[in-house]
Amino acid sequence: MTQTLVHRQTGDYAVTTNTGEPVRAFIPRPLPPDPPLMLNSLFPLLDRANQALGRLDGLSTLLPDTELFLYLYVRKEAVLSSQIEGTQSSLSDLLLFENQAVPGVPIDDVREVSNYVAAMQHGLERLREGFPLSLRLIREIHGILLRGGRGADRTPGEFRHSQNWIGGTRPGNAAFVPPPPEQLMECLDSLEKFLHDETQTLPLLVQLGLIHVQFESIHPFLDGNGRLGRLLITLLLCARGALREPLLYLSLYFKTHRAHYYELLQRVRTEGVWELWLEFFLEGAETTAKQAADTAVELISLFEEDRKRIQSMGRSALSALRVHEYMQKKPLIKIGIAARALNLSVPTVSAALERLKKLGIAKETTGRERDRIFAYARYLEIVSAGTEPIRT
């Protein structure tokens, strides 16, 4: 798509002194942009993104159990968003951690991802209770995101009271310096007003694209801004009624195109090219919504095909079907935990897993005689696509 570039001044600079050297901190101007956005060339892409989003939302009503899909999909987003910030945790590492097994990466990496899942769930629960997506809720979510492990000393749940920066070793040589702490609340108050402006006529996805950049430019916390900024996209889609379930996550798209993602964030600040950013953002929304819908369809087909294969086993199928159903919720399991959850004996679960293993549905992952872990291999393979840790 050929985009007509409109250059604007999207912020001002405050010159401060830090450790004796001058620092130019960026103070974003309130949304919406001025002069107004030129959206005409973006409408075809906006239509496609909205159609893909509508199909995904409609598909959520067809899933036999939405929770089955959301369980891993939410965790996939947590892994991806944390990987962008430098963690090396994989989806399997997170599931091992949740199963009280030892993951293959530093425990802080996995705890960071686990916190992301908890933060997202807290935000969604609050929205369902009717609580507005406000600065107060953003602080609550941040407090959960950074509890324990790395980030616990970075004032979880509190807006920063000191200068932060991105890139470089100090504000004086940083790639980007957000607003000084004394001007932070003015920026956040303006953002909150835009969040709740019911007179706003810009399309929802356009508003989300603007809000994401604005939040990243304000960078209101000492740590966790990137993860929380990406999480806000999904929470806003649910809060505004565009999605009934939290099914759209842009972290895989941002991870795949992360150099371009960071470049565009900076170009909005320095050149005001909002339309160029929105083209990227809408393409990401369309691509991601299609991928999520295709994944859901593939999983529905997988579960049904495997169920039929198990039923063909005859009399021994009953316990295997129960274990198969359990593995749709927990695709990495230990025999003892599964036995307690299903109220079955350990030998019954062991025999069922051996049958599933012969069918190629379950796979033993440890190679040990004791404390064995079984995976629903194809299910994990489908959902894990794109979650390989970033190697630098």
Greater confidence, 259 or 19? 259
Confidence (pLDDT) at 139: 97
Residues in the chain: 392
Return the minimum-mean-pLDDT range out of 324-328, 372-376, 380-384. Answer: 380-384
Greater confidence, 37 or 98? 37
Confidence (pLDDT) at 105: 47
d(CA 82, CA 73): 14
Alpha-carbon distance values, 141 to 70, 292, 309, 363, 389 (Å): 19, 24, 43, 36, 25
Q: Cα-atom radius of gyration of the chain, to the nearest Å?
A: 23
The whole-number average pLDDT for the span 296-317 is 89
Per-residue pLDDT band for 20 (boundaries 50, 70, 90) equals confident
Q: For the domain with range 11-295, which CATH number is right: 3.40.50.300, 3.40.50.200, 1.10.3660.10, 1.10.3290.10?
A: 1.10.3290.10
Contact 145, 218 (CB under 8 A): no
Contact 58, 244 (CB under 8 A): no
pLDDT score of 301 more than 60: yes
Q: Does domain 316-383 have CATH number 2.40.50.100?
A: no
d(CA 1, CA 42): 9
Percent of the chain with pLDDT over 90: 55
Per-residue model confidence as pLDDT tens digits over 104-158: 545 566 677 778 888 988 999 999 999 999 999 999 999 999 987 666 667 899 9
Return the minimum-mean-pLDDT range out of 97-101, 153-157, 364-368. Answer: 97-101
Confidence (pLDDT) at 68: 66
Question: Collapsing DSSP states into helix, strand and coil, what is residue 22?
Answer: strand
Confidence (pLDDT) at 31: 97
User: Mean pLDDT, the chain, as a whole number?
Assistant: 87
Name the CA dihedral angle for 188, 122, 65, 352, rounded to a multiple of 10 degrees: 140
Spans of all domains in the chain? 11-295, 316-383
Greater confidence, 57 or 136? 136
Per-residue model confidence as pLDDT tens digits over 316-345: 789 999 999 999 888 888 899 999 999 999
Return the minimum-mean-pLDDT range out of 62-76, 135-149, 172-186, 214-228. Answer: 62-76
> What are phi and psi for residue 21, nearest 5 degrees?
-120, 150
> Strand pairing partners for 26?
13
State the DSSP string of 205-267.
HHHHHHHHHHHHHH--SSS-HHHHHHHHHHHHHHHTTS-SS-----HHHHHHTHHHHHHHHHH
The whole-number average pLDDT for the span 376-386 is 84
Per-residue model confidence as pLDDT tens digits over 258-300: 899 999 999 999 999 999 999 999 999 999 999 888 888 888 8
Confidence (pLDDT) at 329: 83
pLDDT score of 312 more than 50: yes
Per-residue model confidence as pLDDT tens digits over 188-210: 999 999 999 989 999 999 999 99
> Strand pairing partners for 363?
375
Return the minimum-mean-pLDDT range out of 154-168, 194-208, 241-255. Answer: 241-255
Percent of the chain with pLDDT over 70: 89
> What are phi and psi for residue 176, nearest 5 degrees?
-155, 135
